[in-house]
Structure 1
Amino acid sequence: MVEINDRPVNDRQHNRLHHHGNDRLHHQSIEDFVGELTAFASPQVFNPWRDYHPDTDISPDAPEIRRVHLKQYLRLRKEAKFLFVAEAAGYQGGHFSGVALTSERMLLGNHTDISPAMILGGHMAGRTSSPASPHLKPAQRASGFAEPTATVVWKEILHNGLSPFEVILWNIFPFHPYNAKKGLLSNRTPTKKELAVGATFLGKLLTVAPGAEDLLVIAIGGHAAETLAKMGVPHRHVPHPSNGGTPGFRRGMRGILQLEGLKSQLRRSFP
């Protein structure tokens, strides 16, 4: 028996109280983390959780909608086993969804393979791109943005039999760097300074994720791998699926995950 506040509590009740306490801590840690993300501002960078643009966003509430998406996404992954880290948010993905490697079309239930429940559970997502914007193509106005890289990554998660809630998707630079000459709906490679800034946020994410020391970290692309190496974070590396890299990405992911599956079987057989 364990006593709390002078009332006898059995071990099962104590474990439940301890678990609920951890839930509250996890919840507050996510709130604080998203608050720090929201405070970031930099030239030629769109911060999905802070910035609003009247030409492309549905309303001034768009950043808040994206903050809610990210908080819910992270809360559902407190038992995650994998952390996939790519390069940066893109205009077709995290810019409008608020979640790394995830498109708005997935969140809105307009994707053929990925459902909103896989991402946010039972939470209803909100659209943040403006269907009235002249900068959007007809399909984007009708269904929201779709990102090819996000589709490849999510389909590979499902192909390998992983639960979406076992995987945290992230970008080494979590914000959207864009080309000033091409406009907000463009992408560019993060600078070395931006990658260094992103590394600090990844470090903070690792303090938020319970059991972070046990996460298998997979770098998607060279920039993520180089930055993780500089941070001293153990990781595996696969090619980025963009620009013809999809076959290499798939082979790399399947090799890593098959090896991890064999290791798990051995651990169960020889505890």
Structure 2
Amino acid sequence: MIDEFISSLKYNPEGLFNPWYHRDEEHDEITEAPEIRRNQLKTYLSERIGKAKYLFIAEALGYQGGHFTGIAMTSERILLGHQEPKYGVRPEHVFRNVAPRRTSCPTVIENGMSEPTATIMWGALIELGINPYEIVLWNAVPWHPYKPEKGLLSNRTPTTDELESGLKHLESFMNLFSDVKMVAVGRKCELSLSQLGVDHIPVRHPANGGAPKFRQQVKNLF
């Protein structure tokens, strides 16, 4: 099922970067970067099948996160063990069965990309003593929306059409897991889950000053 799901991500609308099937010609270090990202996503998901209790759905992939790791709300700095120690996040919190690999060129940023949303999300889980293997992170739009005039190292809000295009993939993603609670991280995700008729728990997106409220809401969940 996981292989079929990842294969279904091959298609994506124009204007979005697909980290599992596209190579970032300017910023990827090696030609097999998409294959590495597919393998990391497969490992991340497979280690949570049958264990997950909550699915956290955010808006879309970002260039500092899943663009280079293949995993939603997860940065290279976390995978490579370069996250600041104060957050307590380690590579083995993400997956254990394969060795994490970076795909970005070290010349882009030496220790790998660091995403604020990823730092806050993983930091909150570890700080609250939540088993990270009971949580699965994903996005309403599985691909990376970027600003054409600024290039692939940029983010933008997904359009209504892009959110619509992500619905069938979101539904397929949810079907990988049973007996889980859905958590919508931000209003865009609330809209997508509502369109699918899925009961969900809304929480504040941690970006743009939302981190304190997000942490408190996650704490309340558990």
Please indicate the TM-score interval, normalised by the length of the shorter structure: over 0.9
The code of the aligned residue for 1:105 comes to R
The code of the aligned residue for 1:76 comes to E
Q: How far did 1:158 drift?
A: 1.4
- 1:219 aligned partner: 184
Provide the C-alpha distance between the structure 2 equivalents of 1:94 and 1:104, rounded to a whole number of angstroms. Answer: 8
Q: Is the 8 A contact 2:13 2:162 kept in 1?
A: no
Are 1:164 and 2:132 an aligned pair? yes
Q: Is the 8 A contact 2:89 2:126 kept in 1?
A: no
Alignment equivalent of 1:195, drawn from 163, 169, 179: 163
Provide the C-alpha distance between the structure 2 equivalents of 1:254 and 1:107, rounded to a whole number of angstroms. Answer: 24
Q: How far did 1:249 drift?
A: 0.9
SS at match of 1:143: coil
Are 1:108 and 2:80 an aligned pair? yes
- 1:118 aligned partner: 93
Residue by residue over 1:77-121, the C-alpha shift from the partner in whole angstroms, topping out at 9 and shown as x without a partner, is: 011001000000000000001000100111111113321111111
Provide the C-alpha distance between the structure 1 equivalents of 2:106 and 2:217, rounded to a whole number of angstroms. Answer: 37
Q: Is the 8 A contact 1:108 1:125 kept in 2?
A: yes
Q: How does 1:13-162 map to 2 (within 5 A)?
A: 29-37=1-9, 39-78=10-49, 79-112=51-84, 113-132=88-107, 136=108, 140=109, 142-162=110-130
Q: How far did 1:42 drift?
A: 2.5
SS at match of 1:170: strand
SS at match of 1:125: coil
Deviates more, 1:168-177 or 1:123-132: 123-132
Q: Percent identity?
A: 43
Provide the C-alpha distance between the structure 2 equivalents of 1:155 and 1:95, rounded to a whole number of angstroms. Answer: 20
- 1:19 aligned partner: none
Provide the C-alpha distance between the structure 2 equivalents of 1:110 and 1:251, rounded to a whole number of angstroms. Answer: 26
Q: How far did 1:122 drift?
A: 3.7
SS at match of 1:120: coil
Provide the C-alpha distance between the structure 1 equivalents of 2:116 and 2:16, rounded to a whole number of angstroms. Answer: 21
Residue by residue over 1:199-221, the C-alpha shift from the partner in whole angstroms, topping out at 9 and shown as x without a partner, is: 11111012222x2xx21111000
Provide the C-alpha distance between the structure 2 equivalents of 1:90 and 1:53, rounded to a whole number of angstroms. Answer: 14
Q: Which has the higher helix share?
A: 1
Q: TM-score, normalised by structure 2?
A: 0.95
CA root-mean-square deviation:
1.1
Provide the C-alpha distance between the structure 2 equivalents of 1:117 and 1:187, rounded to a whole number of angstroms. Answer: 28
Can you give the 5+ residue segments of structure 1 that lack an aligned partner in the other structure? 1-28, 258-271
Are 1:207 and 2:182 an aligned pair? no
Alignment equivalent of 1:230, drawn from 183, 189, 195: 195
Provide the C-alpha distance between the structure 2 equivalents of 1:250 and 1:162, rounded to a whole number of angstroms. Answer: 12
Can you give the 5+ residue segments of structure 2 that lack an aligned partner in the other structure? none
Q: Is the 8 A contact 1:117 1:123 kept in 2?
A: no
The code of the aligned residue for 2:168 comes to T
Higher-RCO chain (CA-CA 8 Å, sequence separation at least 6):
2
Provide the C-alpha distance between the structure 1 equivalents of 2:126 and 2:181, rounded to a whole number of angstroms. Answer: 17
